[in-house]
């Protein structure tokens, strides 16, 4: 991404601002889906089922991954190259495990007879968690690029690399918080 200009107004860096504007639209998309869920939920004929246990594990995993991401980031900033690289890989691994748990969760739902094309209560969980997983996959791609950078470039926390890393970190935390919100939402509206 190339920015022709540096911001002349002090304050937030333009690309960071753009990323947050992007978050706003992703949030609106999930608000739309969860509102549709609430509206449909209140209309009755709603199949209640227990959320798969794998979702609990996946929630723990993704929270852990945020912590490792943060440790990698502070390693990068404070000059600890090993922490930076190690925790970055740990984050990627936890991200992959998260996706595996999600997949296992869908399997569990399938085994208790809740399928995508059944009662909308199940369809909603599939679609919403699936769409979230797609955003995590995007995050995994970003992490992969970050790791490639970490190992191919000489370690040097320049302004430009710091910014790039901050953008990646923020996106990762965002998809983490998003999942926690969705998980709590699913628990509350059974």
Question: Taking the CB of residue 150, how many other CB atoms lie within 10 A of it?
Answer: 19
Closest approach, Cβ 86 to other proteins, in A, equals 32
Contact 70, 169 (CB under 8 A): yes
What is the distance between the alpha carbons of residues 26 and 35, in angstroms, rounded to a whole number? 14
| Binding string, residues 21-40; x marks residues near other proteins by CB under 8 A | xx-xxx-xxxxxx--x--xx
| CB contact set of 86 (below 8 Å; sequence gap of 6+) | 72, 75
187 is a contact residue toward other proteins (CB under 8 A):
no
Q: Which is nearer to other proteins, 24 or 154 (CB)?
A: 24
Degrees (nearest 5) of the Cα angle 96, 78, 89? 15
- Shortest Å, Cβ 62 to other proteins: 22
What six digits make up the tokens of 22?
């992007």
Q: Give CA–CA dist 46/98, Å, rounded.
A: 28
Options 41, 43, 97, 152; binder of other proteins; rule CB under 8 A? 43
Encoded one letter per residue, x for contact with other proteins by CB under 8 A and - for no contact, window 103-142 reads: -------------xx-xx--xx--x---x-----------
Decide: 142 and 168 in contact? Cβ < 8 Å: yes
What's the min distance (Å) between Cβ of 135 and other proteins?
12
Which residues of the chain form contacts with other proteins (CB under 8 A)?
1-9, 11-15, 17-18, 21-22, 24-26, 28-33, 36, 39-40, 43, 45-46, 116-117, 119-120, 123-124, 127, 131
């Amino acid at each position: 991404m190339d920015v022709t200009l540096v911001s002349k107004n002090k304050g937030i860096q333009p690309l960071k601002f753009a990323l947050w504007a992007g978050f706003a639209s992703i949030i609106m998309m999930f608000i739309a889906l969860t509102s549709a869920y609430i509206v449909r939920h209140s209309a009755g004929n709603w199949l209640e089922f227990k959320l798969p246990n794998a979702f609990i594990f996946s929630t723990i995993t993704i929270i852990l991954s945020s912590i490792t991401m943060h440790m990698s980031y502070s390693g990068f900033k404070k000059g600890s190259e090993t922490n930076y690289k190690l925790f970055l890989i740990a984050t990627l691994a936890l991200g992959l495990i998260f996706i595996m748990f999600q997949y296992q969760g869908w399997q569990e739902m399938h085994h208790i007879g809740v399928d995508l094309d059944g009662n909308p209560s199940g369809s909603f969980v599939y679609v919403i968690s699936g769409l979230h997983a797609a955003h995590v996959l995007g995050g995994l791609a970003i992490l992969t690029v970050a790791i490639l950078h970490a190992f191919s470039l000489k370690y040097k926390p320049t302004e430009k690399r710091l910014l790039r890393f901050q953008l990646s970190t923020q996106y990762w935390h965002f998809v983490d918080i998003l999942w926690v919100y969705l998980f709590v939402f699913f628990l509350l509206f059974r």
